[in-house]
Amino acid sequence: MFDNRTDAGERLADLLVERGVEADVVLAVPRGGLPLGRVVADRLGVPLDIVSARKIGAPWNPELAIGAVASDGSAWLNDELIAQSGIDDGDVADRREREREAARERVDEYRGDRPPMDLTGKRVVVVDDGVATGATMHACLRQVAAAGADRVVLAVPVAPPDTLRDLESEADEVVCVETPSQFGAVGRFYRTFDQVTDEQARSYLSTDAN
């Protein structure tokens, strides 16, 4: 159980240092990943930026992910579920484009006038406040790889073991503080799990010395 996202970020940073993880940049998944990303970036002494993806919901249930897409168009699709459900390819493409645009708008809103960081040849740590199904994280990690990162480390405070195993194929290393087999939702592992506001999200990025 973590007190709040700052506590989770501190414990995650401790583990990264203990593991000897080195980085050139930390990317946080907004909005919940930004408080942790700020702590981790400060501890590692590197800049903080964001990487954003959106879930692609099923036509009959928006909460059921048939995939996810990042702001650059990098996507992960649950091909098995799509095939079983008989979802039309055109429908998938339309939903994918809508969510890509929403992810891009979120990045623009939080980053403001700052240009995106060049990840070519960089050691990148991707941080979020936890992972449940991993759909959006698949897309985020694929975007980082597509941007030319030399090494990608996924760092989260809590996630179920099976989700982490699925994500191992997307990252060079996975670092997680707690891996409970009985999971549910990420928020149940925090004593305080208030929503991060847009203003707070921007403030975590604006305090970057870079």
Q: State the average pLDDT over residues 127-154.
A: 97
Q: What is the DSSP string of 30-55?
A: TTTHHHHHHHHHHHHT--EEE--EEE
- Cα 131 to Cα 32, 110, 157, 168, 189, distances in angstroms: 11, 21, 9, 13, 11
Q: List, for residues 157-187, the tens digit of each pLDDT value.
A: 999 999 999 999 999 999 999 999 899 899 9
pLDDT, one tens digit per residue, over 13-30 is: 999 999 999 999 999 999
When mean pLDDT is compared across 33-42, 83-92, 135-144, the lowest value belongs to: 83-92
Q: Tell me the average pLDDT across 85-112.
A: 92
> Would you tell me which CATH number, out of the four given (3.20.20.70, 3.40.50.920, 3.40.50.2020, 3.40.1160.10), belongs to the domain 5-52+112-206?
3.40.50.2020
If pLDDT is split at 50, 70 and 90, which confidence band does 207 have? low
CATH of domain 54-110: 3.30.1310.20
Residue spans of the domains in the chain: they are: 5-52+112-206, 54-110
The string of pLDDT tens digits covering residues 186-197 is 999 999 999 999
pLDDT score at 74: 96
